[in-house]
Each structure stands twice: as structure tokens, then as C-alpha cells.
Structure 1
Amino acid sequence: MKVLRRVCGVSGPSWAARGLATIIPKVSQVDNSSGFLGNVPHRQHPGILHLKTVKLPPELVQIAHFLVTQSSMRDLEKQTKALTNYLWSRKRPLETMDLRRKALEVEQKLREEAILAHPKGSLTQLDDSKEKKLQVKVLNILRKTTYHWESLDYTEELSFVYMAARMDGVFAAVSRAFHEIQKRVPDFQPSTLLDFGSGTGTVSWAAHSIWGKTMNEYMNIDTSAPMLALAERLMKGMSENQEPCFPGVYFRQFLPVSPKVKFDLVVSAFSLNELPGQAQRVETVQTLWRKTDGFLVLIENGTKEGHQMLMEARDAVLKGKDKVIHDFREPYIFAPCPHHLPCPRLSPERPLPCNFIQTYCPLPFSWNPQQKEEKFSFLILRRGPGESKEPWPRITQPVLCRPRHVHVHLCCPDGTLQHAVVTPKKHGRDFYRCARSSQCGDCLPVLNPDSEPALGEEDSHIDKEQS
């Protein structure tokens, strides 16, 4: 509330006296006055969070292009496309309990079919030979219908292909997540960064492009020695003295052991799916949270698998309890969820991914177009008390603009998904134009009806007191 009043230039007493129109019944209201924005343009209303086309730092583009042109690797274009498709379609490894349950279901179904194939009552159980055939058939079905997760060994060659295929897309997604922190918390000036699963060091480049004036330590953690060597080569750029493009960059294969070592900004981008099981993912996320002093940023593919891994990490932080608590500040969800309730998109009937799109200029290779889009899911958690202002609903799908009305799909603070139709007649010209200027991932500056009474409700309450 305080933030909305400050941004929109609305004082306390006059706010309650203005008329309000409901955008979502029993969920939110919007200010229906002409002074809603003050001097702020509609396309820059306080809920705008999306980024325009992201461009990689020129030094990074130059060295990446140089390494590719000097490379003798064959069919690099074909390999980059194959790796991109593989990483996008990759699923989590199936847990042992789930595999056993699936095997029992298949076995029971085949057993019932075998018994029913005989005349009624002539067969109640299978003999040894048929039992063995049944088990072989179960195994064959499981092999064909079960996703076979394999750990990726990032050799020198595969690390190079990953750089050419994914470095620019990762930079775009990370930049979008960092932009949200910078836009909503301009006072946050981190000095230390921990990047788990750092890969080509893209997160350090993205952090430097935003907070380079205050950052003095970039800790890159990756288990692959060839990947770390490539990231260090990229960091040195085209400089003749082989000095890093910016100071304070470190490369390690293991996380710092001491729980007292903390970082202002901790990031894991597209790395959780590299872990062999749920227990390892949960343990890793909890370890990263213990090392977080400010923000923890998690980014994955914008698929069902990626979104579900982030919701798994969300529960691990919000519901997980350490035996020894080194930091008593409670976690709260900073973005994109406007609530701490279960994700409404993870319905058992039809689970849908919560994802966003960022446009970027890819590396200037012959097979790349001038612009590409990165579809990703992200989760940002913060230490400390919850936000002082009331959370605004998040736009979860592309805004559909039609003549004199706009369709917006919102994830609301009460934990529900709502479809709102905004019109200039009902909600006012200013808010209508704000909705038309918004995109997926932005927030709509609407208020909870419990926070401020509508004009009619206030008048009715005053009449009752006078009577």
C-alpha cells in the first residue's frame, strides 16, 4: 500500500475517498480515478517488470565468437541444436519408489490379462514358466516407457558445445531474474555472489552488468574441470595480459564447507536437474539457502519438469528445518509467486508450468537468427521479514488485447488463478491502458478489498454509525 501510494503520488485521506472498481470479485480492486499514475507513463506503471531485448556484454560476445571461429570442431551447428533439444526435453531421474510402484502396476495389469485370457475359472495363478515370461515382459515395458536419466559428463568438447548452444539463453534468463530484484529493491547492492553449477560463468557476467560497482567477489562452483577452464578463458576475454575482464572472480569445484560463509546473492541456474535424485536436490537447495544472506535465485527450463523442481525447492526452503539454525531470519517468496500458498498451476488433473519468456540477441553465429526467445521458470527467495507492501497479482499468460477490453490471467495473493477482463468504462482509462501495456510476468497494481473500503461501502458504514 505504502509503495503504491508513493509511486502513484496518492495521499492517504484522498485515496479512500476515491471510487474503486472491482477487477476480480472478492479478490482485488483498482483505483478508478484519473490521478492513478500521477506523472508516470502508462507503459512504465509500477507493476512493469519485463525487460526489452537482452544483449550480452561485448567482451563476452567477442571472445565467444573468436573461440568458435578458431575451433576445428565439425558439425558445431548440428551439435548445438541437438544439445539444446536434449536439455529442453530432459526430465528428472525417476525415484526408486516410483519405479517400484510403476512396476507393480504393470505386473498386476499383465497378470490380470493373462488370467482372463483363459476360460473362466480354469486359471487362478501362473506357473513358473509363465511367471518368468511375465517378469521379462514387465521389464521390457518399463524400459520402453520409463525415462532413462543419465548424468552428463561435461568434457572439454561438450563444454564447448554448451557454450555455443546455451550461454546466451542462460544470460537472458538470469538477467530477467536479476532485473526484478533491481527494479523492486533498488537499495540492494550485493558485494558477494555464489553461483552453483556455474557452467560458462554466465551468472557472473549478468551480475557484473547490473551490480558491477559494488560486487567484489564472484564465486563460481562447478564439478566439471573442463567447464571451469572454459569459463576462465571466457572471463579473460581478448586481453593480451590474460587478466580477467573484471576482478574478484574465483572458480572452485566444491562449495565452501563452513556454514558461516555467506553470500549476498546465491544463484543456481539450470543446475538442479544435473543432480541424481530428489534427496540430493533438496539437500543442495537447503545448503544454498544456508549460504544465502540476501537473495536465493533458482532458474530452470520453462517446462513442467522445471517448474515442479522449483516448487520442490520452494517447499524445501519454506518447510525445511535445520537441526542447527545459524540464521533466524525467515524465508519468504520474493518472486514470482504473490503468496506462500500451494501453486495453483500444480493441479493433479492438469498441471501446467509457470514460465516466462525473455527476448535476447544470440551469439553472432551463422546459424542464429537476430533475435531469440528463452522460455524459463524462476523462483526468488529472500531472507528477512515479508514485504511491507501488499503483493500485487502476477500476470501468468500473454495479455490478450481486444477492442475496448483486455484479457489478463492472474496469479492472485489468495492463491488462486483468475481471468480478468479490464475495460475503460468499468475500471477507468488509466488502469485499462496500464493493462494493455503489461506483459506476461508483470504485476498489476490492484489492491485487496480488505485493505481499503470502496466508496459505497464506506458511505454505508458511516450511515449505519449515524443512525
Structure 2
Amino acid sequence: MEIPVDLLNGIEEESNKIPINKLISLVSDISNRYRNTDDKHISSYEEAIAYISYRMPATFAVIYAVLKDIKDICSNINPKSILDVGAGPGTAMWAATSIWNDIEQITLLEKNKNMIKIGKNLSANSNNSSIKNSIWLEADLENLSELPKHDIVIASYSIGELNEDVQSKIIKKLWESAANDILIIIEPGTKIGFSIIKRARETLISLGAHVIAPCPHANECPINDNDWCHFSSRVQRTSIHRKVKNGQLPYEDEKFSYICVSKKHCNMIKSRIIRHPQIRKGHIILDLCTKDGIKKVTVKKSDGDIYKKSRNSKWGSVFE
């Protein structure tokens, strides 16, 4: 996974508008606020620049990983239109066009004027005509009246910002009124983030949705209340990101939870690896989510091709 060069150039161009010491201070303030309070509001254009400098690459990596997984499972999916709700600076748009290069229509709903402004500035740097011609609408998810229909609807890191009592209502509206085919919901890979995804999954299945990923079934989720299902995506840190976060490692791992459903049947996977594979001498231990629940499977060297496949697998991989 590589972040598009025109997006990286756009982030750097915006970040250079603020002295580095001030940018570091803004990033620290936003990070502390996100971590310690319920305040997720970006109140100025400078804060929007700080946000994209340290968060956009990681969220791009997550959304890209989710969309790539969906494409691998259902190779016949070829969306012509994307709706991003709670779009922020338009991260999902950039990830989607990196997966499908013939998307014709992109609509982004965002309530924060500063995010819309920076999203448009980043779009202007793109070599992709769909991104350049994307439609930005100022809209609050809690007060949506009419929604345009699109092949894929993406709600990344936005449902969790709503009050719990309205989350199911919004999800139902996105599913019934906006999605021609697919709805994708992504949240942080935390216990709280997964609880949002788990409730969304239950709501969507009750509405007749077909589960595509990450689950290999549409049965009741086997993850108990003391645990949570999540995955991780690695992204190379940009030079500006290393500066503003004082990062020592050249990469960052972003944990996430998600659910993807469709209005059409898709061949379901047999199982998914939900923990890091434990590689031992002569065997590998895998924790799998299957249609029959959570299973711990030992694959021995004598198992031949299955063993070779297991050695190349990772946390989050589909396992057939």
C-alpha cells in the first residue's frame, strides 16, 4: 500500500503553511483532546492542517486495507459511484480511487467547513478527474433529510461521533436510502469502536443485509464482551508526520474495526485469522473466526501447502 504521491504532496503543501513548532503544538492539543475528551471538533483551518498532517496517512491506510479486502473477496464489484458520509478531508475518496480507478461520481458529506475547505484544496492537487470533480456537501449526519444513491457508501470514523441513540437510525437510513449495493462502516480498533461495529452489524443483518467482511458468517458474533475484534494496518510515516509526532519508527500501525455488507449475495469466506499467528517449531497456531465460532487450529509442517500458506498469513488474513 502506497499513499498517492499527489495526496502526499498536498499534505506537505498545506503543512508548510504553518511554522513547524506551531504545527507540533496543534497536533499535541488535538491528540490530547481526542484521547481524553469527547470533543472531536476541528475548530480552525490551522487545526484541519494539523489533523491531516498526523492522521490522514493512517486513516488512508485503514480504508485502503478494508476496500482491498472487499475487492479480493468480491472481485466482481466495480463501483461507479462513492458516497462518503462524515468525510473529513476526503480520505475515503483517495483510498477508493486507489482501488478502483474508473469511479465516475464521488459525493462527500461533511459538516465542518474547515475540513471541506482543506478537502477541496487537497483534491485540487489530484491527477484523478473524479477526485477533482468530486461534490462536497455541507451536511450534518444527524440532520440528513434526503440522501443521494451511490453504489458504495462509506462511513469511516463518523458513526462513533454520534450519540448512541441515533447511531442505529443513521445506519438504517444509509442502508435503505443511500446504498445501491454496499455499505462500509469503519471505527477505531478499540473496545468501544468494536461495540459500535457490533451493534451496526446486528442492525444491518436484521434489515436483510448480506455480510461480506470481515466475518465469515452472518450468525451472532462469537466475540464475548471482554474482547473485541479488530485488525491493524501499517503505513510508512511521512517526514512531516515524524516531525509533528516525534516518531522514532519509520512506520505506524493503526488498529481498526469494520463491517461491510451488501444488498447482493457474495461468496463468503471460510474463516479469518483474528490474532497474530503463533509460529512454533514445526507448527503454527491460528486463531480463526469461522461459521462455527472461534477456533484455535494447529497447522503442522507435514500439512504441506496449508502449512506454507499459514507461514505467509498474518493477522486479518482470509484463511480458506
- Quick check: TM above 0.5? yes
Is 1:281 matched up with 2:170? no
Determine if contact 1:286/1:317 at 8 Å carries over to the other structure: yes
1:203 Cα deviation after fit: 0.8
How many residues in Structure 1 have an aligned counterpart in Structure 2? 311
8 Å Cα contact 1:216-1:247 kept in structure 2: no
Q: 2:151·2:181 contact (CA, 8 Å) conserved in 1?
A: yes
Give the alignment's Cα RMSD to 1 decimal.
Answer: 2.2
The reply to whether residue 410 of structure 1 matches residue 316 of structure 2 is no
Equivalent of 2:239 in 364, 379, 384: 364
Aligned pair 1:395/2:282, yes or no?
no
- Name the counterpart of 2:261: 381
Over 3 Å counting, the alpha-carbon distance change for 1:257 and 1:191 in structure 2 is: farther
Distance 1:432 1:238 in 2: 43
Match in the other structure for 2:154: 267
How far residue 223 of structure 1 moved from its aligned partner, in angstroms, is: 0.5
Structure 1 consecutive aligned stretches of length 4 or more whose deviation exceeds 3 Å:
72-75, 84-87, 148-151, 243-248, 255-259
1:26 equivalent in structure 2: none
Name the SS of the counterpart of 1:187 in structure 2: coil
Distance 1:151 1:58 in 2: 28
2:22 paired residue number: 75
- State the distance in 1 between where 2:288 and 2:235 align: 25
1:170 to 1:345, Cα distance in 2 relative to 1, 3 A: same
Q: Alpha carbons of 1:356 and 1:238: their partners in 2 closer, same or farther (altered >3 Å)? A: closer
The alignment partner of 1:207 has SS state of helix
User: How far apart in 2 are the matches of 1:154 and 1:186?
Assistant: 41
- Could you tell me how far 1:86 is from its partner in structure 2? 4.4
Q: 1:424 to 1:352 in 2, by over 3 A?
A: same
Match status 1:187 vs 2:76: yes
Q: Does 1:251 align with 2:136?
A: yes
Please give the alpha-carbon distance, in whole angstroms, between the structure 1 residues aligned to 2:62 and 2:165. 26
Q: Does structure 1 conserve the Cα–Cα contact (< 8 Å) formed by 2:84 and 2:154? A: yes
Q: Does the 8 A contact of 2:124 with 2:132 survive in 1?
A: no
Judged with a 3 Å threshold, the aligned counterparts in structure 2 of structure 1 residues 417 and 282 are, in CA distance, closer, same or farther, namely same
Alpha-carbon offset, residue 293 of structure 1: 1.2
Name which of 50, 53, 75 aligns with 1:164. 53
**Aligned residues of 2:184 and 2:258 also touching (Cα < 8 A):** yes
Alignment of 1:220-239 (within 5 A): 220-237=108-125
Which residue of 1 is the match for residue 101 of structure 2? 212
Is the strand fraction higher in 1 or 2? 2
Cα deviation digits, residues 386-425 of structure 1 (max 9, x gap): x3x46311100001111100010011112x2111111133
Give, as a single letter, the amino acid of the residue that structure 1 aligns with 2:86. Answer: G
Q: Is the 8 A contact 1:65 1:363 kept in 2?
A: no
Aligned residue identity for 1:165: Y
Distance 1:162 1:195, change over 3 A: same
Change (3 A) 1:390 1:159: closer
Task: Report the equivalent of 2:296.
Answer: 419
Higher-RCO chain (CA-CA 8 Å, sequence separation at least 6) = 1
Letter in structure 2 aligned against 1:421: T
Looking at structure 1, the residues matched to 40 and 310 of structure 2 have their Cα atoms a distance apart, in angstroms, of: 44
- CA shift for structure 1 position 364: 2.5
Give ranges in structure 2 of 5+ residues lacking alignment. Answer: none
Distance (Å, rounded) in 2 between the aligned partners of 1:85 and 1:167? 17
